[in-house]
Amino acid sequence: MLRASCLLLAVVGSWAAPQPPKVTLKVTDQKLSEVLGDVSEATGVTVFATGAALEAPVTVALEDADLDTAVQAIAEAIEGSWLRTYVVEPKGTQPAEETTSVLLERLQVAWRDWMLSRTEEQLDAFRAKALAAVGGTPSLPEMTADGGMAFDIVETLQPPFGSEQVTLQAQGAEIKEALALFTLDCGYMTLLDSAVTGQVTVDATQAELPDVLDDLCEQVGAQWRPVYLIGKARPITPDEMEQRFSEMLERGAAEFWKLPPEQRADIVQQLTSRMQSIPPEVQSMIKSSPWTSRLMGRAMQFVFTLTPDQRREVAPLLQGAVKLFSP
């Protein structure tokens, strides 16, 4: 079989120009990895995929589609998920060689740090938008016959909602804080290079998303670029679930205990408060999950590896977790 029955990718301008790249694509049973390689090369916008998705066959026909529509159609063709995020880096930077695993890790850390940096009121408003976007209570991952789950890491990192217009007011704010407010309003996460610093002032009301990013970046000598990720669920066993959970606990604890005591106390207080504010319907869903008891058992095993002083320091968090996860 030819590499594709017919493949034409037409690019008009660049992403930052008034005309974003357009994609015309017709492929039949072509590997996702090959399709994405062509899309990325032709548009200049990187589209990554997780390992579970790379070998999936794609059959899709598009003509003059915008990049979001194209990525969504490709993801749907493999019964997968997709997301868009933004990298903000110093102006003139040539994108470094990136990998899917590094991008996923950056996104996980970015979402975690973003949540810890927001106030209760901000998170309540964000949660309300997220619940409205899914029409109510979010669903749990699909359970497999052996008691595991169909897990798609891209799906877990998708913005809970997305708006292409941004309302953002900031006066002399650090760029990191301004981008955090950007996420709060439109839902999209940004990955800020640590070399980008400085203060910004912005007063935008229902402005186009690219224009807001242009304005913010111009004030601090930075540039931005979109990055896409496509994922596909794969079954993971209960044992693998527990192993992943243990690794997450160990990594999180290692980072936590490196922090100054006052910062650790703030994190314990924030996490405890946020567990208490989880809506009752979500708490019920968590308590009834078939995986909760197994993961709680593994968490308790981890707690016993802490020293007495460490357990005392995180006691409010442990008590809140027991209350939340116990049937």
Tens digit of pLDDT for each residue in 189-244? Answer: 999 999 999 999 999 999 999 999 999 999 999 999 999 999 998 888 888 888 88
pLDDT at 140: 61
Which residue is listed with tokens 């090369």? Answer: 41
The whole-angstrom separation of Cα 45 and Cα 65 is 14
Same domain assignment for residues 229 and 90: yes
pLDDT at 6: 32
Dump pLDDT digits (tens) for 282-302. 778 777 777 777 788 888 888
Element (H, E) at 249: helix 238-256
pLDDT at 141: 65
Grade residue 151 by pLDDT with cuts at 50, 70 and 90.
confident
Query: For 56-101, where are the E strands, in sequence order?
Result: 57-66, 81-90
Same domain assignment for residues 60 and 100: no
Q: Which of 236, 261, 290 is the last residue of a domain?
A: 236
Please report, for residues 14, 175, 223, 267, the alpha-carbon distance to residue 179 in angstroms, rounded to integers and kept in the order given: 23, 6, 13, 21
Residue 145 pLDDT greater than 90, yes or no: no
Q: Which residue type sits at 235?
A: P
Same domain assignment for residues 116 and 207: yes
Q: Which of 25, 53, 79 is the last residue of a domain?
A: 79
Query: How many structural domains is the chain composed of?
Result: 3
Grade residue 280 by pLDDT with cuts at 50, 70 and 90.
confident
Same domain assignment for residues 148 and 214: yes
Please report whether residue 1 resides in a domain: no
Same domain assignment for residues 232 and 257: no
Most confident of the following: 3-17, 92-106, 153-167:
153-167
Dump pLDDT digits (tens) for 34-64. 999 888 888 889 899 998 899 999 999 999 8
Confidence (pTM): 0.81
Q: Which of 182, 206, 236 is the last residue of a domain?
A: 236
Residue 66 pLDDT greater than 70, yes or no: yes
pLDDT at 20: 67
Grade residue 16 by pLDDT with cuts at 50, 70 and 90.
very low
pLDDT at 104: 93
Dump pLDDT digits (tens) for 233-272. 888 888 888 888 888 889 888 989 999 999 999 989 888 8
Range of the domain at 250: 238-327
Dump pLDDT digits (tens) for 78-126. 999 999 999 999 999 887 778 999 999 999 999 999 998 998 899 889 9
Q: How far apart are the first and last CA of the chain?
A: 55
Torsion from C-alpha of 132, 135, 139, 142, nearest 10 degrees: -130
For every residue of 208-242, DSSP letters joined together read: EHHHHHHHHHHHTTEEEEEEEEEE--EEE-HHHHH
Residue 76 pLDDT greater than 90, yes or no: yes
Q: Which two tokens stand for residue 161?
A: 């909602």
Q: Between 23 and 230, whose confidence is greater?
A: 230
Residue 71 pLDDT greater than 70, yes or no: yes
Q: What is the largest CA-CA distance in the chain?
A: 65
Please report whether residue 58 resides in a domain: yes
pLDDT at 136: 63
Same domain assignment for residues 199 and 101: yes
pLDDT at 94: 84
Which of 6-10, 19-23, 63-67, 164-168 has the weakest average pLDDT?
6-10
Same domain assignment for residues 89 and 204: yes
Residue 10 pLDDT greater than 70, yes or no: no
